[in-house]
Amino acid sequence: MERSPRPAPLRRLGVAAASAVLLGSLVAGALVAAPPVTRPAAADASVTVPMMGPPVLSAAQLAAWFRSTGRAFNVPGETPESLASYFVDEGVGVNIRGDLAFAQSVVETGYFGFVGSMVKPTDYNFAGMGACDTCNSGRPFPNARTGVRAQVQHLRNYADITSRAANLPTPPVVEWYGRRIVNGVVTYDPALAIYNFDTFFAKGRAPTWNQMGNGNWATATNYFATVLNVYERILTWNGIPTIAKAGADPAGRTDLVERVPGGVHIGGWAFDISTPDAISVRITLNGTPIATVVANGYRPDVDAVFRWGAYHGFDAVVGVNTGGTVCAFGVNVGVGSRDTPLGCGTIPGPDPVGALDSISRAPGGVRITGWGLDPDTAGAATILVTKDGALGAAIPAGSPRADIGAAYPPYGANHGFDAVVPVGGGAVCVYVVNVGPGSPVRLLGCQNLVGPTPLSAIESVTRVPGGVRVVGWAIDPDSADPVPVHLYAGGVGVAILADRVRPNFSQYFPGYGDAHGFDATVALPGGRTCLYAINVGFGTTNPLMGCTDLLGAVPVGTVDAAARVPTGVRLRGWALDGDTAGPVDVHIYANGRYVAATTANVARPDLGTFFPAWGPNHGYEVTVPVTATGPVQYCAYAINVGFGAVNPLLGCRTVSVGTQPFGILESITRVSGGVRIAGWVIDPDSTDPVALHVYVDGAFRAVVTSNVSRPDVGAIFAGYGDLHGVDATVTATGGQVCVYAINVGGGVNPLLACRTV
């Protein structure tokens, strides 16, 4: 229901309305109380409710209350918890009470259901922004956080006459402040957004929620009371007095609760807007007060958000002898309603303390760094290292650590450790040993480290002329020395050393250096090729790095085609031997009998693509003489060179070999002036046209020649050309017409067809 940054008509309270790291550390995490029985009937409008200041309610409390209502939550892609966190975080960022803005949105959206609202759920507009009495829609925003940000920025403009875009943690929302329409086209201008934010016509008009309504955000006279009624319900449900709406209760947060030698270390911040002075913070253990500290420490981060001074931090060590739940409360001064819970943490008993800074594999074992001390002694604590649950080493935590000495002055600085312990990889855990009361040991951390066997990677395994090329790396965690790598193929083994420098390799394995790569070509026959990294130090396994199927020790190739040609039978294919880039001999057999030899040295660009190391010149094309007729099987064998002794079969093709003419007479028909004969004829022994003799009723009538162009026939019988078609008219009056093909090389003149016309 809020008008745009420039004056526009207002609307009445609608149907729906009637029905960063610092931010997180400052406001998140308050406890959620169980709902009491009573609820307020109406808001007390006599209490002044500031627009600015820290929230009273946390995001968890807001979301828990909303879920207790049982209302349907209709905000796409969000949950009550995530949306509530936006309100609290964005509110803190501009020092606006985001929990009250959440209550405002409950009113504006009808409990985030948007029933009867001018704005849609997908507009992410939670306060009727731009939805005026004479408008037909509200202003849309790209996502929920942006919609909340626009809302709290605009509330800050209402609340603070000194508000400026330069003082916001994020730029003014362009969808609200920077919207421009030219010729019906909507654009968003960041510079315009800054101008409109800084020159907002109602700036500073409502520093309190009591002034909202009556033209401020809404026309409704009861707007403030409606929002406050919802806010009071949320307070009451969370067990907080409704007078807390005045924002006079202390605000703050417990940032740290940890066990330290001699007690518990607790820190955070707290202030009360009733006084600029530091307030007291009450510390309890398991519900019993144990100390009071003053929140007067330097916290410029708190002042940067709330502008209430920088000296409102607390950081103290409180003496306790047992573990439990430690809580802090900001002690109220002035007109507030309660001592505000700042947060709690659980601490262990008087056990050792420490930290595992790093644990990593190193040459010779495992390197561990960190610190440990026991509150009962100033001497060096004992650090235990286990591997897979078994004790591996014990070392003292006696190295200088200035930071530990500064944090625990009574104990001195000599409580660090940095050592390589002789254990292999696996599940490695580090403990600090307790002395005095408490648990026997305290676990500092565990990590699954690379085991005692080598680590490695194969980047490529390729067959090349003369052998196999392998590229990769191998390293054994137990040593900085190069690792042997063994290669096996075809029953043959070769050893290489992973000692090639790989720049920046040590950044992944600090302390091991860069010389752990390999790139070698070895004389192996190919086939199934496997690599193994050879273990050194701990462990006994030489792990398999991987296997690859490569070109084997014998040649490979194909018979792509075999066809009858005028001079014999032509075979075409390719062959190469992995052991040489040179050409391979190919032997041809017909029905099992040797008939010819050729060399596979013809250019085949496709082979160069698939076998780049061998080049393209491995094709063959050979014409062998006809040695038999009928179906003849032609087989090609590649002659091996290098590794291996087998001359492998490349393939076989069966060709129907004939010597007499053949063809098809497609038609013999009666036409004006005689008989028309059409078709085609080829003699396999020649590319020349074939003569045809025509007989009618047994009497010789004519000779015709198969010399008409037939591209379809030429395409099928490659090498014979196109001029083998027949299309001739023979003078005859009808009867039985028979056509014979005359053999070019002598022999049988076969009958092609007889027809009665």
Residue 744 has pLDDT above 90, yes or no: no
Q: CATH number of 248-347: 1.10.3080.10, 3.30.930.10, 3.40.630.30, 2.60.40.10? A: 2.60.40.10
H or E element in which residue 54 lies: none
Domain extents in the chain: 15-245, 248-347, 353-449, 455-549, 556-657, 662-756
H or E element in which residue 479 lies: none
Tokens of 643: 């590794």
As a whole number, mean pLDDT of residues 118-131 equals: 92
Among 127-141, 270-284, 307-321, which is the least confidently predicted range? 127-141
CB atoms within 10 A of CB 659: 15
Of 310 and 118, the structure prediction assigns the larger pLDDT to: 310
As a whole number, mean pLDDT of residues 126-135 equals: 78
Separation in Å, CA 571 to CA 441, 549, 603, 621, 653: 82, 29, 15, 6, 9
Domains 455-549 and 662-756 share a fold: yes
Any idea which fold 556-657 has? Answer: Immunoglobulin-like (2.60.40)
Tokens of 622: 């050979």
As a whole number, mean pLDDT of residues 656-669 equals: 86
pLDDT tens-digit profile of 37-54? 333 334 455 678 999 999
Give residue 746's pLDDT: 66
- Ranked by mean pLDDT, the top range of 15-29, 159-173, 657-671, 689-703 is 159-173
pLDDT tens-digit profile of 468-480? 999 999 888 888 8
As a whole number, mean pLDDT of residues 18-27 equals: 37
Beta-bridged to residue 654, according to DSSP, are: 633
Q: pLDDT band for 32, please (50, 70, 90 cuts).
A: very low
How far apart CA 459 and CA 470 sit, in angstroms, is 8
**Whether 89 contacts 23, CB under 8 Å:** yes
* Coarse DSSP helix, strand, coil percentages of the chain, rounded to the nearest 5 percent: 20, 40, 40
- For residue 138, the one-letter residue type is G
Q: Look at residues 160, 176, 155 and name the one whose alpha carbon lies nearest to residue 227.
A: 155
Separation in Å, CA 745 to CA 76, 215, 646, 664: 89, 115, 42, 20
pTM more than 0.85: no
Question: Of all residues in the chain, what percent carry a pLDDT higher than 70?
Answer: 92
As a whole number, mean pLDDT of residues 627-646 equals: 88
Q: Look at residues 686, 735, 681 and name the one whose alpha carbon lies nearest to residue 713.
A: 681
Among 11-15, 394-398, 644-648, which is the least confidently predicted range? 11-15
Q: pLDDT band for 113, please (50, 70, 90 cuts).
A: very high
Tokens of 7: 């004056």
How far apart CA 440 and CA 351 sit, in angstroms, is 8
Q: Look at residues 721, 724, 687 and name the one whose alpha carbon lies nearest to residue 705.
A: 724
Of 486 and 720, the structure prediction assigns the larger pLDDT to: 486
Q: pLDDT band for 745, please (50, 70, 90 cuts).
A: low
Residue 298 has pLDDT above 80, yes or no: yes
Any idea which fold 662-756 has? Answer: Immunoglobulin-like (2.60.40)
Give residue 41's pLDDT: 39
Of 407 and 10, the structure prediction assigns the larger pLDDT to: 407
Question: What is 455-549's CATH superfamily?
Answer: Immunoglobulins (2.60.40.10)
**Whether 349 contacts 323, CB under 8 Å:** yes
Give residue 6's pLDDT: 54
pLDDT tens-digit profile of 371-396? 998 876 778 999 999 988 899 899 99
pLDDT tens-digit profile of 145-190? 999 999 999 999 999 999 999 999 999 999 999 999 988 899 999 9
Residue 226 has pLDDT above 90, yes or no: yes
How far apart CA 644 and CA 211 sit, in angstroms, is 98
As a whole number, mean pLDDT of residues 578-592 equals: 92
As a whole number, mean pLDDT of residues 664-681 equals: 92
Q: Look at residues 359, 346, 334 and name the one whose alpha carbon lies nearest to residue 443.
A: 359
Q: b/e per residue, 573-594, with b = 16+ CB within 10 A?
A: bbbbbbbebbbbbbbbbbeeee
Tokens of 599: 């060399």
Residue 231 has pLDDT above 60, yes or no: yes
Residue 10 has pLDDT above 50, yes or no: no
Q: Look at residues 683, 649, 660, 574 and name the one whose alpha carbon lies nearest to residue 618.
A: 574
Instruction: Quote the mean pLDDT of the chain.
Output: 87
Q: pLDDT band for 549, please (50, 70, 90 cuts).
A: confident
């490979």: which residue's tokens?
556
Q: Positive or negative CA dihedral for 243, 244, 247, 249? A: positive
H or E element in which residue 153 lies: helix 144-159
Q: pLDDT band for 400, please (50, 70, 90 cuts).
A: very high
Q: pLDDT band for 25, please (50, 70, 90 cuts).
A: very low
Separation in Å, CA 684 to CA 396, 424, 660, 663, 679: 97, 79, 7, 11, 17
Q: pLDDT band for 676, please (50, 70, 90 cuts).
A: very high
Give residue 417's pLDDT: 96
H or E element in which residue 294 lies: strand 288-294
Architecture of the domain delimited by 353-449: Sandwich (2.60)
